[in-house]
Structure 1
Amino acid sequence: MLELRKGDDILTTVGAIDSIDAARILLDAKLDQANKNKLAVITNEEALVKIANAISICGPDKVFINTGSEADVQWIRKHALEKGEERPLAKKGHTIHFDLPEDQARLVNQTYYIINEGEKMSSLAKSILRNEALSYVQQYMRNIMNGMVMMVGFYSRGPVGAAAAQPAIEISSSAYVLHSAELLYRNCYADFDAEAVRAGLFYTNLHSEGPNRSEDVPNARIFMDRSWMTTYSTFCTYAGNTLLLKKGNHRFTVDYVTYYKVEDQLAEHMFITGLTGPGGRKTFFAGAAPSGCGKTTTAMVGTDFIGDDLAQFWIADDGTLRAINPEKGIFGIVEDVNREGDPYLMDCLRGDGTEVIWSNVLVDADGVPHWVGHGEEVPKNGSNFMGEWYEGKVDHEGNVVPLSHKNSRCTLLASAIANHATQVAEDPQGAPVKVITYSGRDSDTMPPVWVAKNADEGVVIGASIVSKATATEVGATGVRRQPWANAPFIPGALADYMAAQFQFFNSSKFSEAGKPIMAGLNYFLTHENRQGPGKGLLGEKKDVKVWLGWLERFAHGEVTAITTPIGYLPRYDDLKPLFAGIGKEYPQELYNMQFSLYLDKIIARIDLQRDAYSKEADIPAKLFEIYARQKDELNKLKEKYGSVVPIDALA
């Protein structure tokens, strides 16, 4: 169970500001008149005390209050250039930011939840006791901003006024972090007080990069205080570690809704996108996938893109599932982004008129960014995340340094993308979601698309995601389980999170028409694992539109499906015209390879998941019942057909 406001608030303990009167004395001493005037709009006393404690701990030379005005945002852009955190590129509005070579992704082994004695945590989470975290903050954050400007911004994670949106404060010495926040989140300076009352909470995020030296990265820490909804981040600049409005506050939201909003809300690591179906019908999807498993690609395929990373849900009064994107921009991986697969995004990245912050790509002599897989001519030299770069350069271990880091990013407003559904994305009523999908990176087991028979089996699809580790996480390797693609961001016990999922998707608050269908997606089947020629993928990026198109029609009852132990599979005759719609032939042979059931592999996957969850305390019995039933049905098929069941045998 999560207990809020339990234990000492580290920010207050170290900062020693424990009253609004003491806070006002310090703020009056540290802020110039212009920034005092700006801060006067914020009357929430708890927020003012937190800001004062951050100043007391970090010891900045100046404090800048960001109201979100064009003048304030322009000051932040200029400060980022003056500090050298960003450099201008050839295209107007484009800048490049380089993280340290050791700080190119989430520092998973240096990221901890601050907990109290005896608290039950996810087995996949790293934690640190409150007194140990307190000692770190006292040692490493005291005066960490000497000689620097502390910037303070007020943001909303979601459209202001939305049922599932939360306000947050971002405090940092990094202009790159504040610049990124202005592209990724809605500045709610004028609405902060009212939003804190409506939501009943706000998050606080405190970051300083310190001297920004490689030798300091081993001392970097990313702390998330569950009880006080406060994050601390030091000695790093990669946005996934520092812009804690993102994954840090997502963790808090997952925690909060799991324990305090059961059956009311969910917070998921999901894209949100809309697809135009027959007759111009708009159907909205939300889908989970670990990084590197096609989440952004799937989101961008939609005709009405809303977000590529996070989603917050609630059940509306009309019984429909509603979703908002807590972000208003994208912090997207650029490797393999190209004209063929991502035309809308490429228009922003290579066209004029879009503000873009690039990170860790190659910049050529003309100030043009390049990255692996962009489908363009590659320069022979330039500068990248490892400094000066030339073709064939190797690092100190003899490894060839790629053109760009695998986790290179672009940060831009989502509304700049041509297929962005800005009006729906900014509507506090949320997008009405009809389809939920779960994807992994699976070369040999599951078919490209399948639909759960009911909500319980849908939850189990989400609980059973597997994937290879990706470049978004430093220190993570190999193939591993990725429950709901949200497991790295679940602070509490997985059993509690799973129970909340079962309860939400079985809620009596759903109308019959409002219940979403729940499905699995897998883009990564290979020829060699399906008795085909070569080793390549059985599909390609543009096939995603077919799988989503079939789900859209299935959700509206316009196509039927083949019933199998793992769920409903599409019929060949329904897929063939959808492939024709994207200009592709779809031979029966390929369909058979993709959708035949490889029973031994599916059964082994069930055993893997069952055994892993058996080690977790208090997992709902429903999960094991579904695994057992599916395994029993699969074994009966095996007795009848052998280890591989041709899909046409089940049609």
Structure 2
Amino acid sequence: LETGEERSLAMENHTIHFDLPGEQGRIVDRTFYIANPEDLISSLANRMNRETALEDIRANMTNIMKGKTMVVGFYMRGPVGARVSNPALEITSSAYVSHSADILYRNAFADFDKEVAARGHFFTNVHSEGLNRTKDLPDARVFMDLQHQTTYSFKCTYAGNTLLLKKGNHRFAVDKAVHKNRGEELSEHMFITGIQGPGNRVTWFAGAAPSGCGKTTTAMAGDLFVGDDLAQMWIADDGSIRCVNPEAGIFGIVEDVNQEGDPLLMKVLRQPGYEVIWSNVLIDENNIPHWVGNLEPLPEKGINFQGEWYPGKTDDKGKPVPMSHPNSRCTLRSTNLDNYCPDAENPDGVLTRIFTYSGRDADTMPPVWVAPDSDQGVVIGACIVSAATATEVGVSGVKRAPWANAPFIPGALGDYMDAQFRFFGNAKIQEQFQPVMAGLNYFLTDKARGGSTGKLLGEKKDVKVWLAWLERYAHKEAGHIQTPIGNLPLYRDLAPLFDKIIDKPYPKDLYDRQFSLYVDHIIARIELQEAAYAKEKNIPGRLFEILAHQKEALQALKQTKGPVILPGDME
């Protein structure tokens, strides 16, 4: 508050932080790995040779904190004592970055030396916002040095660029899992949530989704919350897969968060008693935050990251100005949530059975489908597609998003894929703990299934049913239809779940529209993936085998059933 990086709002312990208008997301075009000539860096990432990068860092960071207060924080990325947790330092001149770190990570000052000694490493993050001027943004940089496990960021304030305990250190954890512990450990861009099934049993899920594709919503749909963004996982001595959340809080997108779809999160955001940092939302005259999609009355005017705002405001091109940025965020502690599970701090992790992979797919894949084996599950993750989101400055359009983790994979994509096949296919995983791996798609539209509108073919709250069906499937309490892309749910299993869980009728014709296979669309999607992966080096041949088999089976099915196949015609 004293530095002006945040200011108080009407609700006690609520503050607002505004980033510069030109820095409302990750600066992917100015984010680099510091690389030696022999280093293999992902084709999806930027690299800069070590000498050039260090010159850039020296030129921009020398004396950058002069006249400021440097804050050093000691944190654990994961529960203290967990096998896959990583100690990390955050060194910054930004009070906002330090405040965010204290909410999002476990302060481990007392345990730091012990944890470093046990693991033999720690991550280091160095940041300064400098003078925080728009004219300096072209010179803003994010650097990651894999050799020294150190990040540097300067002349930026957006948490995705500055709080490199998060995605910067996630990259280091991915690198460690792939190159030091391949087949034994993974570091994923996944939520962790528990679903209560019959008899109050709890089945744990971990799920990947690119930013803006429903990851937090899915995490909050669970009965027991551990995390909404990142997961560290390993194969335990009992042959099960265990997951921990390296974080202890939520840095969540608020656009479209509302009482109807996100009641637990809305309680924290709209009721007193909780600490929240808001960023890049609208603040009205009464110091109350507002954002697009909250389903609340519009304020008459307010201030957002661009300045003064009022309903109907347009920019110099006549385009409507939204009251909040699409990447507006809230930062809060996980313990504030009513469905928070204390097992989030268990160093043994949670025993995880179900792994989901979601994208933003308007016209091709059904709401849920399950891989018949772990290799095909890995391929579901490899084939995630999405629309570019507001989290990335200067990016637009539809894109591939392998495992929703591609921006954070430092090395060759083929090595990462090999690590996925080896981990989920590891013979150490006992039969009763074999993973159920599934695709999820909440974004299928009415128009793509014979309608005339661009509305979603379903509602946000339907996710509770898809997760409940997967929970029953994992315990062999739900049937399925075998198809070339995987196993689909039966209508007779879904309809009672809609009624019981969200008190909603589920017409048979809606089921048919959602779960029909549009063969030509799916084949086109397979060919997109085949062409893209053919350009990469050392991609495991198993991926191409599975995609070719799926395409062949779909073409054969089309010959007998036609280009659009109802689920009932495949039973």
Please indicate, yes or no, whether the TM-score normalized by the shorter chain is above 0.5: yes
**How many residues matched?**
570
1:266 match: 186
Q: Secondary structure at the match of 1:149?
A: coil
Q: How does 1:413-562 map to 2 (within 5 A)?
A: 413-421=333-341, 423-562=342-481
Q: Quick one: which of 548, 554, 561 aligns to 1:628? A: 548
In the alignment, which residue of structure 2 is the partner of 1:78? none
**What does residue 271 of structure 2 align with?**
351
Q: Where do 4+ consecutive residues of structure 1 move more than 4 Å? A: none
Q: What secondary structure sits across from 2:537 in the alignment?
A: coil
| TM-fit CA distance, 1:390 | 2.2
Q: For structure 1, which runs of at least 5 residues remain unmatched after alignment?
A: 1-80
1:502 is displaced (CA, Å) by: 0.3
- CA shift digits 1:196-246 (9 cap, x unpaired): 122221000000000001111110000001111100000010000000000
What are the equivalent positions in structure 2 for 1:366-377 lying under 5 Å apart? 366-377=286-297
Give the 3-state SS of the residue equivalent to 2:492 in structure 1: helix
In structure 2, give the amino acid aligned to 1:102: G
Return the offset for 1:264.
1.4
Tell me the amino acid that sits aligned with residue 134 of structure 2.
S
The aligned residue for residue 39 of structure 1 is none
1:620 counterpart letter in structure 2: P
In the other structure, the counterpart of 1:15 is none
How many Å separate the matches in 2 of 1:209 and 1:596? 51
Partner of 2:489: 570
State the Cα RMSD in Å. 0.8
1:483 and 1:235 mapped to 2: Cα distance?
A: 30
Instruction: Measure the CA separation in 2 of the matches of 1:154 and 1:477.
Output: 37
For structure 2, which runs of at least 5 residues remain unmatched after alignment?
A: none
Q: Counterpart in 2 of 1:338?
A: 258
| Aligned position for 1:42 | none
Which residue number in structure 1 is paired with residue 123 of structure 2? 203
Alignment of 1:189-228 (within 5 A): 189-228=109-148
After TM superposition, the score normalised by the length of structure 2 is 0.99
In the alignment, the residues of structure 2 paired with residue 209 and residue 394 of structure 1 have an alpha-carbon distance, to the nearest angstrom, of 30
Instruction: Trace 1:50-199 onto structure 2 (pairs within 5 A).
Output: 81-199=1-119
Greater shift in the superposed pair: 285-294 or 524-533: 524-533
Superposed displacement of residue 535, structure 1: 2.5
**1:435-474 residue CA offsets vs partner (Å, 9 max, x unmatched):** 0000010011111000001000000000000000000000
Please state if 1:248 is matched with 2:168: yes
The amino acid that maps onto 1:500 is A
How big is the shift at 1:397? 4.6
Aligned residue identity for 1:258: V
**Paired amino acid for 2:50:** R
Query: Percent same amino acid at aligned positions?
Result: 62
Partner of 2:196: 276
What amino acid is the match of 2:418? A
Structure 1, residues 536-588: CA drift from partner, whole Å, max 9, x if none?
11110110000000000000111111101111100000000011121111111
Query: Does residue 288 of the first structure (1) align with residue 208 of the second (2)?
Result: yes
1:459-505 residue CA offsets vs partner (Å, 9 max, x unmatched): 00000000000000001111010000000100100000000000000
Q: Distance in 1 between matches of 2:551 and 2:14?
A: 53
Structure 2: distance between partners of 1:181 and 1:138: 25
Q: Helix, strand or coil: the match of 1:623?
A: helix
Shift of 1:394: 3.1
Give the whole-Å Cα distance in 1 for the aligned partners of 2:458 and 2:51. Answer: 52
Whole-Å separation in 2 of the counterparts to 1:307 and 1:398: 40
Mapped pair 1:389 → 2:309: yes
Q: Quick one: distance in 2 between partners of 1:219 and 1:612?
A: 32
1:585-616: CA deviations, max 9, x gaps? 11110110011111101111000000000000
For the residues of structure 2 that align with 1:399 and 1:145, how far apart are their CA atoms? 39
Alignment partners' CA distance in 2, 1:182 and 1:387:
29
* Aligned partner letter, 1:513: Q
Letter in 2 for 1:433: T
Instruction: Measure how far apart 1:646 and its partner are.
Output: 1.3
2: CA distance, partners of 1:171 / 1:119: 27
Q: Which residue of 1 aligns with 2:531?
A: 611
Query: Residue by residue, what CA displacement relative to the aligned partner does 1:44-83 show, whole Å, maximum 9, x if unpaired?
Result: xxxxxxxxxxxxxxxxxxxxxxxxxxxxxxxxxxxxx010
1:638 to 551, 558, 563: 558
Distance 1:89 1:365 in 2: 10
The letter of the residue matching 1:574 is D
Taking structure 1 as the reference length, the TM-score comes to: 0.87
Aligned equivalents of 2:542, 2:435: Cα separation in 1: 20
Matches within 5 A, 1:360-371: 360-371=280-291
Letter in 2 for 1:610: E
